[in-house]
Amino acid sequence: MLDREKVREIVRKYPERRGALLPALHLAQKEYGWLSPEAMKEVSRALNLPEATVKGVATFYAMYRRVPAGRHLIQICTNVACMIFGAERLVDLLKERYGLEPGGTSEDGRFSLMIMECIGACDRAPAMLVNEDYHPDLNEERIMTILEGYK
Amino acid sequence: MIELTIDGKLIQAEKGSTILQIAKANNIKIPHLCWDRRLKPYGGCRLCLVEVEGQRKLLAACSTPAENGMVIKTDTPVLRKARKTVLELLLVHHPLDCPICDKAGECDLQDLAYQYGPSEGRFYAERKHDPEATSPLIERNPNRCILCGRCVRVCWEHQGVGAINLIGRGFNTKISPAFEETLDCEFCGQCVDACPVGALGTKPYKYRARAWFLESTDTICPYCSVGCTLTLDLREGKILRVRGMDGVGVNEGDLCGKGRFGFDFIYSEGRLTKPLLRKNGEFQEVDWEEALYYIAERLRDIKETHGPEKIGAIGSARTTLEDDIMLARFFREVLGSDNIDSSARLGYAWALKGMEDTLGIKSNPVSLNSPIGKEVVLVLESDITSTHPIFGLKFLEAMHEGTEVIVVDPRKTKLARRGNRWLRNRPGTITPFLYGITHLAMKEGVHLKKDITAEGLDELEDGLREYTPGKVSELTGIDEDLFREVALRFINAESRLLTLTLGAAENQKGLETIHAAANLLMLLGEGPEALQIPSDYSNTYGAWLAGLRPLSGGKDLYGMLYTPGSLKALYVMGEDPLVTMPDAGTIEENLKDLELLIVQDIRLSETGKLAHVVLPASSWAEKEGSFINSQGIRQMLPKVVSTTGDSIADWKIFRNIARVMGHDLGTVEFSQLKEEAGKIVPEEGTRKWRFIPPEWEGLARTTEEYPILMVTGNIMQHSGSLSVMSKSLSHVLSDAFVQISPEDAGRFRIGDGEFIEITSPKGTVYIKARVSDEIPEGMLFVPLHFAHARVNLLTEVSRDGKALLTPVRIGPRKGNGGSPAG
Ligand code: SF4
Ligand code: SF4
Ligand code: SF4
Ligand code: FES
């Protein structure tokens, strides 16, 4: 269930309920793991906005997940800087080791993978986010060590 | 004012207008697809690009505010090329299925592509969404959609619904309800009118005609008293669809679902085609001559034996003014009876009386735009967006422009959801709520500053003494602080409005509510304009003005329908008291006692089934006439289609009976009647103000035995008992239901969709339950439209106009069936 008190807190920050939609969706994503139809309906009820409005916004932005996600979300950047420093090789590696496809989830439900367009770490490329943790300066060895820390 | 040049023309304009608005006002054509007069600029389609001197970029005329000194060009080679490219890109994935698209011939995309010449087709792509076919009335064909978003924005911004959206992004974007489910919305069809291409269409019109074969005629909507102009599109004499025309009529092109889809009641299989005469207990079809001679003879007999005071008439709120005048003349001049009334007696008449008692006025037409520009508007236990949909839209519009709309209603209506504030009161407690505000206003001494000369101030003050915020909170169930805050907000506003409906079908407000509202407004120094009470149906107000009410001591509706033995003969024109009026059991007994019951209608109504003779009348589209809407405006109806069977216009039927009875009432041609109708003017009043002391007794309606209050009324898709004849409207909703709160459903073990038993002191009915959080605990809401539900067997009638909520008890339906709905 969506924490209604947190939603109210978000709503208070915006002059219009509609303004609170993006942060409320983030909240829902965090609490449900992904934006399931149920999660979107809950946001619609909490903000007193039509379901269609919520769904339209949720499907417009790439940062919302509309398929169930694994326990941990890996977001790897493959934009120019990271690409030059071998990010694509890392993506292949994840597929070899965990059977992870971009946009997909590993069979054991441990990881989900999303390809990002720049996470603002070009100076320490290649880089990734795991859930909310930032991991720069990756190479094949480092990325495996880091990920093994996420069970 | 600013000055600017468009295409070499020097133009003056209001500051703050957009380039497109100014161009439109000056008849300069700029193409546009995503712009809509009613909506905020969107700037999505880029067709309205213009060149502005000194600007490197082309600017979107729809969303660029005009500035002083701008020099604008709307048609240059650069613009043509830009627009052509936009069109080319739109056509990349637009299916070229114009030959089977109902929009062909009136499609903006088609017209623009034609205007800007063939595109080169440099790109190719195809979308493969399936058309959505399961929703009633409205079909979506997402492949044809150009993503202009007009439907989405009309539905949300303008209608306040938000049933559809652009789902997804980029190439895969698709117009759809949230979860691709079947559309579950108001079915107003406004999105269809807004769509510039053939992506949204109405099902009843699908594959019915090519646009260029249609002939269009404007007429007035037969349903509610807003009196919208409908543009009827006909082919070979048959109405195929109804549209709103931008800027036309009091509605300026907006329509609700009743107006747009409800016209097909005239093609219903239930239409009467011949007079029916009861012989040996059975109806037989007879010709007009036989029916008229029978009626003439029986009426003459009864008049001679019992006197004219034993003959009465109930008129209609939907027949034309001309029909009503003839009914009144026939009764007064030929029969000598003043026993004439209409359903207005049960609702609107009390509103009029209430305003006369207090404000000293005999009429108070509403003004559709009244909410706009007010600081605070209070909407009192009234679902205006359902009963008077286009008037209802004005409250949303006002809100967008900064008005604070405060809704006080136990039901979570659309305005309750969308308004700025919603206070949920206990059903039927709007009157003490108003007392409470008035009490506070007096305490604040507002009236002392205003030099109010109205009589009765002291009595009012005395009577209101007990209505302290604490007491009001206790009675209404509204939090005391919240009440105080809202009351002071209203009292201290610079400009304000109170609105409510007092319909014949409603039982939670009454004369005392009108008195309370007027008291408050007078105390604040506001005149009648601040009290907006629309009449019910297309011609409720007209019937009243045409004299369908006792004028010289005759019996009113209560005296005729609810008083045993008061009549021997009754003539009912275009009304179905057994369905639409309270305490139907008593009406039925009294009707059965009559020696002669004549029912004149377009179909065999429930009341008609008890009649001795039934006369087939022509419908609204089959005759000329006029309606007076809630704004007091008389609007003409042309004859659009030929009559059904042997039916005749109501007014002609009276002329013909009079002739058979040897009175010709003058010659009576339509033109004369029309002229006579044109002379009707509302009565003035003394305009002397008077306060009416509190008189609310609505408290002890519930008892241990009957713990729940049943509220009755009209809903969005229906209107009285007429709309149920419409196939289209019935497609959305044709089954009777009662709304019940989740709390009560749990408590009484009632599942959604199950039949329940409702018992009042008057009787028991069986009806399907709909569990809904729109309803609070302790309340039921039941629409009255559906004859088979017979809800009016449970209700009571109040001869002094008091609100009479029906106390009931409920439970799961006992026993194992028989026919559903009892
Ligand atoms: S019919 Fe009316 S309520 Fe339904 S989607 Fe269209 S605009 Fe919205
Ligand atoms: S369905 Fe029509 S109105 Fe709606 S976005 Fe598509 S083209 Fe525009
Ligand atoms: S029912 Fe009323 S609001 Fe709807 S179209 Fe007819 S007149 Fe207009
Ligand atoms: S009408 Fe201006 S961008 Fe569409």
Banded model confidence at residue B815, pLDDT cuts 50, 70, 90: low
- Residues of chain A above pLDDT 90, percent: 53
The CA distance from B703 to the nearest CA of chain A, in Å, is: 35
pLDDT score of B345 more than 50: yes
Residues B264-271 have a mean pLDDT of 94
Q: Which atom of ligand 4 is nearest to the CA of B45?
A: 4
Measured in Å, residue B164 CA sits from the centre of ligand 2 at: 10
In angstroms, the CA B721 to CA B679 distance is 31
- Is A55 in contact with B163 (Cβ distance < 8 A)? no
Residues in chain A: 151
* Vertex B760 angle, CA B757 and B763, to 5°: 75
Handedness of CA B345, B727, B182, A21 (dihedral sign): negative
- Is A52 in contact with B168 (Cβ distance < 8 A)? no
Instruction: Name which of B483, B496, B490, B487 is nearest B531 in CA terms.
Output: B496
Give residue B822's pLDDT. Answer: 36
Contact, B597 vs B591, CB < 8 A? yes
Residue to substitute in B21, B24, B35 for testing ligand 4 pocket (most ligand atoms within 8 angstroms of CB): B35
A52 touches chain B (CB under 8 A): yes
* Vertex B165 angle, CA B164 and B168, to 5°: 140
Instruction: Name which of B579, B596, B644, B655 is nearest B617 in CA terms.
Output: B644
Q: Which residues of B198-220 are buried (b: 16+ CB within 10 A; e: fewer)?
A: bbbbbebbeeebeeeebeeebbb
* B149-179 residue pLDDT tens: 999 999 999 999 999 999 988 888 889 998 8
Give residue B821's pLDDT. Answer: 41
Contact, B701 vs B805, CB < 8 A? yes
**Count helices and strands in chain B by DSSP H and E runs:** 25, 32
Give residue B230's pLDDT. Answer: 98
Q: Which atom of ligand 3 is nearest to the CA of B629?
A: 7
B164 touches chain A (CB under 8 A): yes
Q: Is B797 in the pocket of ligand 1 (CB under 6 A)?
A: no
The CA distance from B419 to the nearest CA of chain A, in Å, is: 11
ipTM confidence: 0.79
- Which H or E run contains B738? strand B738-740
Backbone phi, psi, residue B656, to 5°: -70, -40
* Vertex A42 angle, CA A38 and A43, to 5°: 120
Indicate the DSSP class of residue B437. Answer: H
Banded model confidence at residue B700, pLDDT cuts 50, 70, 90: low
Contact, B314 vs B573, CB < 8 A? yes
- For the domain covering A4-60, report its CATH number: 1.10.10.1590
Residue B16, Ramachandran bin (φ over 0: left; ψ between -120 and 50: alpha; else beta): left
Banded model confidence at residue B820, pLDDT cuts 50, 70, 90: very low
Contact, B404 vs B395, CB < 8 A? no
Q: Which residues of A86-121 are buried (b: 16+ CB within 10 A; e: fewer)?
A: ebeebbebbeeebebeeebbbeeeebbbbbbeebeb
Give residue B818's pLDDT. Answer: 41
Instruction: Name which of A19, A60, A66, A61 is nearest A40 in CA terms.
Output: A66
In angstroms, the CA B56 to CA B78 distance is 12
pLDDT score of A74 more than 60: yes
* B636-693 residue pLDDT tens: 999 999 999 999 999 999 999 999 999 878 768 999 999 999 999 988 899 999 999 9
Taking CA atoms, what residue in B is nearest to A38?
A: B179
Banded model confidence at residue B699, pLDDT cuts 50, 70, 90: low
Give residue B275's pLDDT. Answer: 98
Residue to substitute in B161, B202, B243, B386 for testing ligand 1 pocket (most ligand atoms within 8 angstroms of CB): B161
Q: Among residues 139-158 of chain B, which lie with CB inside 8 Å of chain A?
A: 152, 156
* B626-645 residue pLDDT tens: 999 999 999 999 999 999 99
Return the half-sphere exposure (C-beta side, CA atoms, 13 A cut-off) of residue B450: 20
In angstroms, the CA B100 to CA B207 distance is 8
pLDDT score of B244 more than 70: yes
In B, which residues are within 8 Å of A51 by CB distance? 162, 177-179
In angstroms, the CA B628 to CA B535 distance is 10
In A, which residues are within 8 Å of B165 by CB distance? 50, 52-53, 55-56
Residues B187-213 have a mean pLDDT of 95
Residue to substitute in B187, B188, B248, B251 for testing ligand 3 pocket (most ligand atoms within 8 angstroms of CB): B251
Contact, A52 vs A32, CB < 8 A? no
Instruction: Name which of B799, B332, B821 is nearest B558 in CA terms.
Output: B799
Tokens coding B258? 């009743």
Architecture, CATH, for domain A72-148: 3-Layer(aba) Sandwich (3.40)
Strand order in the sheet with B71-73: B9-13, B2-6, B71-73, B49-52, B59-60
Distances (CA, A) of B640 to B228, B251, B259, B618, B619: 16, 21, 16, 12, 10
- Which H or E run contains B811? strand B806-812
- All structural domains of chain B: 2-75 (3.10.20.740), 126-267 (3.30.70.20), 276-346+538-678 (3.40.50.740), 349-532 (3.40.228.10), 699-812 (2.40.40.20)
Residue of A37, A44, A60 with shortest CB distance to B169? A60
Domain residues of chain A, as ranges? 4-60, 72-148
- Hey, what amino acid is at B434? L
In B, which residues are within 8 Å of A52 by CB distance? 152, 156, 162-165, 167, 176-178
Measured in Å, residue B60 CA sits from the centre of ligand 4 at: 6
Torsion angle of C-alpha atoms B459, B463, B468, B471, degrees rounded to 10: -170
Tokens coding A143? 């990325």
- Strand ranges in A15-101 using DSSP code E only, listed in sequence order: 72-77
- Residues of chain B above pLDDT 90, percent: 84
Residues B249-254 have a mean pLDDT of 97
- Hey, what amino acid is at B128? K
In angstroms, the CA B335 to CA B324 distance is 16
Q: Across chain B, what does the average pLDDT equal?
A: 93
- What is the three-class DSSP state of B789? helix
Place of tokens 């008439």: B313
Interface test with B, best of A18, A25, A40, A60 (most B CBs within 10 A): A60
Contacts of B441 (CB under 8 A, 6+ apart): B447, B487, B491, B520, B523, B524
The CA distance from A49 to the nearest CA of chain B, in Å, is: 8
* B592-633 residue pLDDT tens: 999 999 999 999 999 999 999 999 999 999 999 999 999 999
* B452-503 residue pLDDT tens: 778 999 999 999 999 999 999 999 999 999 999 999 999 999 999 999 999 9
β-strand partners of B531: B498
pLDDT score of A137 more than 50: yes
- CA Rg value for chain A: 17
- CA Rg value for chain B: 28
